[in-house]
Amino acid sequence: MNLQKRIVVTIAVALALAGIFLRAYVLARLSQDDLCGSDFPIFYAGGQLAGSPELYSAAAVRRIELREAGCTQPPALFVRPPYFAAMMKPWARLPFWTSFFLWRMATVLAAGVFVWLWPAPRHWSLLACAWSMPLAYAITIGQDSGLLLLWMALGVTLLARKRDFAAGLALSMCAAKFHLFLLLPLLLISRRKALYGGATGAALLLAACFAVQGPHWIGPFLGAISDPTINPKPDSFFNLWGIAHGHTGIEILLALPVVISVVYVIQRADFGLGLAAVLAGGLLLSHHQTASDAVLLAPVALTLCTDPRIRYAKVVAVFLASPVAYFLMVSPGAWEVPRLLLLLMVLMIAWDVRCSFRSPSGTNASKAIGFDRQAPLLPAS
C-alpha cells in the first residue's frame, strides 16, 4: 500500500469511527420515553403473539407495548409474515429492554458482516455504514432494515463463489420486506440455480407461515398491510407513490421508465450493476416504507462509486447515501428532492450502461460477477 492510499484509508477509517462514536453517544442519551413508537416493541409483541389469533390485532400489540415498553404510539400493528413472528419468539422470551439491546447489537453485527463481505474496499463500506442515517435510525428504533444488508452481502458472496443455489436461499431471507425486492427475480432469471434457490427459500418461508399461523393467516395479514394507519404520511415516502401524491395513473406512468431502465441494465450489464438498479428501482416501486429502508442506498452507492464505467449516476448515488439526503427525506417540503433524484439515478444508471457496455462486435457485456475489491462486480475479462 503506497503512502497516498494509506492516507486515504486512514482518513476514511477516522471519519467512520467519528460517525460510530456520534451515533453511540446519541443512542446512549436517549431515554425510554424517546423510544416510544419504535418498531422493536411491535416485533417483540409479534414474537409473543405468534401462533395466536391476535397476531395481526393492533389492540393486542398495543397491550403488550404498554406492558413492556410503558407506552405505545400508532401505528402499532404487526405487518410481517408469520414466519418472522416465529423468528422473534426467542427474543420475546427475554426481558424487553435486554432483548431490545441485543437486537440492536445483532443489527450492528449484521452491518459489520456487510462491511467485511461486500465487494468494495472495506474502508469505504465502513464509512458508508457509519454515516448511513437510515442504518442509524434502524439501530435506534429496532427496525429490521439493517438485516437486509446481511442477506445481500451473503448472497453476493455466495454468487461470487459460484454457490448460486445457496445465494438464492440467502437472498430469499429478504422476504420480510418483499415489497422492496419486487424486481429481484428479474435479476436472477439468468442465474437459474440462484433463482431456484430463491424460490425454494420462499417456498420454505411460506410453508413456515402456514405451520406457525394455520391455514387462514393470509386474510388477516393482507388486512394488516393494507391498514391505512401504517402509512400515516404516504406523501413523504421515498417512492413513486410519494412523487405522484397518490395518483395511480401518474404512478404507473413513472413506473414504466423505471422498470424498463432496470430491465435494460439487467440485460446489458453485469450482476453488480443489475443489483444496484434492482435495489434503487425497488425503493421507487414499493408502497410502504420507513426512513430506515433507504439503507439499501449504501450498497447501491458503493457499487456505483467503485465502478469506473459509471460516470454520472455515482454522483447522485453518493448524495443519496449521505446524511444530507436523509435529512431532506424526512423534512416536510424538502423530501421531493431526494426521491426525484432517486428516479433520476435509475435512469442515469441505464444511460451509463448504454454508453459503457458496447463491445466491438455489438454483443452484450459479460454478466459474470466479479469479486475484486479494487474493481468490484465487474464483468470477467
- The tens-digit pLDDT sequence of the chain (381 residues) is 788 889 999 999 999 999 999 999 999 898 888 888 889 999 999 999 999 999 999 999 999 999 998 888 877 899 999 999 999 999 999 999 999 999 999 999 999 999 999 999 999 999 999 999 999 999 999 999 999 999 999 999 999 999 999 999 999 999 999 999 999 999 999 899 999 999 999 999 999 999 999 999 999 999 998 888 777 676 777 889 888 887 889 999 999 999 999 999 999 999 999 999 999 999 999 988 888 999 999 999 999 998 888 988 999 999 999 999 999 988 887 888 999 999 999 999 999 999 887 644 444 444 444 444 444 443 332
Rounded to whole angstroms, the Cα distance separating 312 from 90 reads: 46
* Cα Rg, the chain, nearest whole Å: 21
Rounded to whole angstroms, the Cα distance separating 175 from 43 reads: 15
Using CB atoms within 10 Å of the CB of residue 30, give its burial: 0 to 12 exposed, 13 to 18 middle, 19+ buried: exposed
Calculate the alpha carbon distances from 310 to 154, 217, 350, 364 in Å.
Answer: 24, 45, 10, 16
Task: Give, in degrees to the nearest 5, the angle at Cα 104 between 100 and 110.
Answer: 145
Q: What are phi and psi of 55, to 5 degrees?
A: -55, -40
Residue type, 39: D
What is the pTM for the complete model shown? 0.90
Residue in the block written with cell 439501530:
139
Rounded to whole angstroms, the Cα distance separating 289 from 238 reads: 7
Task: Tell me the H-state helices in the chain.
Answer: 3-29, 40-49, 58-68, 82-87, 89-92, 96-117, 122-130, 133-141, 145-160, 164-172, 184-188, 192-213, 218-225, 240-244, 248-268, 271-285, 297-305, 313-320, 323-329, 336-356
